Amino acid sequence: MKKKVGLLGGTFNPPHIGHLVIAEQVLNQSGLDEIRFLPNHVPPHKEVDVSVTVDQRIRMLEGAIRGNPRFAIERIELEREGPSYTYDTIKALQERDPEVEYSFIIGGDMIEYLPKWSRIDELIDMVRFIGVNRPEYSHETPYNVELVDVPDLKVSSSFIRKAVRDHRSIRYLVTDEVYRIIEEDGLYG
């Protein structure tokens, strides 16, 4: 029997409670054995804040998931150069771990965007897509996406970065460990 692993991709700059809630709800509702957080090296669809290093993002992610033995970090995209395309990632993971059945978790914004993904017609045959609701986005797609209902938390990494720059509190939007790292390293200020 194959191990069932859900992949939750993102920049995680910083990781926040929304990421953790999504991971926990998908883990609980989709029959997965584990969730692996998949930090992007260079996401093809958004700008990267280069003031925060990969090591700092990893430290924050490690701090965020500490204490949940069914959460882990998958570093495969950080080990490659260039844009992080999901097709290439899934192909590499399946070659590396043929005993694992991967699912790819996407938010409502990405469900709408699926037709524009690189090699989507091949990818849809390679991996199970699990979509989570996200406020203000449709779940309409011509592709097979299993929907999981999660609480609507309107929190984002960009909101948190802006709040830090504006000297507003981010407490309870991130875990205590992530909050400590942001403060100690002077991130986003």
- Report pLDDT digits (tens) over 103-116: 999 988 888 889 99
62 has pLDDT over 90: yes
Q: What pLDDT was estimated at residue 83?
A: 81
Number of domains forming the structure of the chain: 1
SS3 89: helix
SS3 96: helix
Q: State how far the Cα of 15 lies from the Cα of 11, in Å rounded to an integer.
A: 8
Indicate the pTM of the whole model: 0.93
Residue range(s) defining the domain that contains residue 131: 3-185
Kindly state the average pLDDT of the residues 94-103: 97
pLDDT category at 29 given cuts 50, 70, 90 is: very high
Kindly state the average pLDDT of the residues 149-170: 94
Domain containing residue 84: CATH number: 3.40.50.620
- Which range (29-33, 44-48, 145-149) has the least confidence? 44-48
Kindly state the average pLDDT of the residues 14-25: 97
Q: What pLDDT was estimated at residue 84?
A: 78
Q: State how far the Cα of 56 lies from the Cα of 14, in Å rounded to an integer.
A: 9
Contacts of 109 (CB under 8 A, 6+ apart): 134, 137
172 has pLDDT over 70: yes
Measured at the alpha carbon of residue 105, what is the angle toward residues 37 and 163, in degrees to the nearest 5? 65
Q: What pLDDT was estimated at residue 141?
A: 87
- Mark residue 74 as left, alpha or beta (left: phi above 0; alpha: psi -120 to 50; beta: remaining): beta
Q: What pLDDT was estimated at residue 180?
A: 98
